[in-house]
Amino acid sequence: MNYLKNGVTESCVDKNPSLNEIVNGVPFSKKYFYIVHLLDRVLFGEQNQRIQELLTAAILQDEILELHIFNEEKEFFVARNDDGLVAYEPLVHGTFNCKSKNKRVITRNYVIEKANQEKANQEKKYKRLVVKEYVDYDEENHLAYVEKTALYKLEGDEYGNK
């Protein structure tokens, strides 16, 4: 499968990939999480048979605006453009093309609003989205910058708080 990445023209990219092409292009060794922006709602959760069927149907019915499939290994991003869906090059955690010795990884946690938790209608309630930011340093200009940001995982409430 060809992906859209820096320096590659869109003519080299697979348009309208299937869910199997997206997930099996660089397979996950563990279960993955998803966030999918459909025409009428946003869904998120953990991989299961029901969501596999829902995502496959949404791709076939041309309802997906954006799709993120991710876990602690990598993130796939698929987005709609004029010609359909385009799969971008996977962001693999731990692969970091930094130019300096001052690389850093910052973990950020974003709270999922309660209203969105209820709308997702999942067996498990997810409270936070965990994101990894890979920070590099430009020695010449003395500036730190985020080289890449990748979704890492969804977390529930391990402490029993509601």
Which pLDDT tens digit goes with each residue over 70-120? 999 989 888 888 777 888 888 888 765 655 566 788 999 999 887 666 665
Pairwise CA distance, residues 85 & 16, whole Å: 5
Pairwise CA distance, residues 36 & 18, whole Å: 14
User: Does residue 160 come out as left (phi exceeding 0), alpha (psi in the -120 to 50 range) or beta?
Assistant: left
What percent of the chain is predicted at pLDDT more than 90? Answer: 17
Pairwise CA distance, residues 133 & 110, whole Å: 13
Single pTM value for the model: 0.76
Per-residue model confidence as pLDDT tens digits over 1-17 = 444 454 333 433 456 66
Per-residue model confidence as pLDDT tens digits over 30-65 = 888 999 999 888 888 888 888 888 888 888 888 889
Read off the pLDDT of each residue in 116-137 and give the average, rounded to a whole number.
77
Amino acid at 149: T
